[in-house]
């Protein structure tokens, strides 16, 4: 393979940023003479949290406005607390947070059931939109759900039928001489 010289003047757009007078990012890259350093607004007053707020170890302060509607609680909160002890550059940090989200969903369903409210799980999962926009995917998911439910029902009924069959009564010995002798 031979290396050939390329005539860059024949390439459209080549060297478009070579002239600093024509470079729109040039003033932004050189901010030594600017007084504001890009910060031209005053920081809003800090919101005072009234619940536990988890903060990344990469940041030394909270943002001015924070969310307080769902503080960490239960098992999912413990997992989140552990995740925030790790760096955001660590993949385990993000996996733990995603796992905590899934666990939080289960905790919410259990909480609804304890309060006597049956959650509308198909509605919350977007079954109507899935049916409207992806009928094939909906059919596959419904078929898989039905198959899993059928296997679970069959397994439960199999266990119940095993328990309902009573063991046979012990047969009486045919010969009284061979009967079990228990000394007094």
Mean pLDDT calculated for residue range 50-54: 91
> What mean pLDDT is reported for the chain?
83
Largest Cα–Cα separation, the chain: 119
Give the tens place of pLDDT for each residue, 8-28.
888 887 877 677 677 666 666
Q: pTM of this prediction?
A: 0.54
- Higher per-residue pLDDT: 177 or 5: 5
Coil, strand or helix at 51:
coil
Angle made by CA atoms 42, 48, 51, in degrees to the nearest 5: 145
14 near 8, Cβ under 8 Å? yes
pLDDT of residue 54 exceeding 60: yes
Taking the C-alpha atoms of residue 140 and residue 146, their distance in angstroms, rounded to an integer, is: 10
Q: Render the burial of 144-176: b for 16+ CB within 10 Å, e for the rest.
A: eeeeeeeeeeeeeeeeeeeeeeeeeeeeeeeee
What average pLDDT does the segment 140-167 reach?
86
């Amino acid at each position: 393979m031979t290396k050939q010289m390329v005539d860059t003047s024949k390439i459209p757009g080549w060297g478009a940023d070579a002239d600093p007078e024509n470079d729109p990012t040039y003033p932004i890259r050189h901010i030594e003479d600017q007084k504001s350093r890009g910060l031209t607004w005053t920081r809003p007053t800090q919101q005072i949290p009234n619940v536990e707020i988890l903060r990344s170890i990469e940041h030394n302060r909270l943002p001015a406005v924070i969310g307080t509607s769902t503080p960490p609680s239960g098992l999912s909160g413990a997992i989140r607390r552990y995740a925030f002890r790790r760096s955001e550059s660590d993949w385990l940090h993000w996996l733990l947070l995603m796992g905590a989200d899934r666990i939080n969903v289960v905790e919410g369903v259990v909480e609804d059931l304890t309060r006597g409210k049956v959650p509308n799980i198909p509605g919350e999962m977007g079954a109507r939109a899935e049916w409207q926009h992806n009928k094939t995917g909906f059919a596959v998911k419904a078929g898989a759900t039905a198959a899993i439910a059928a296997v679970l029902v069959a397994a439960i009924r199999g266990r119940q039928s095993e328990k309902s069959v009573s063991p046979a009564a012990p047969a009486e010995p045919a010969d009284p001489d061979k009967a079990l002798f228990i000394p007094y």
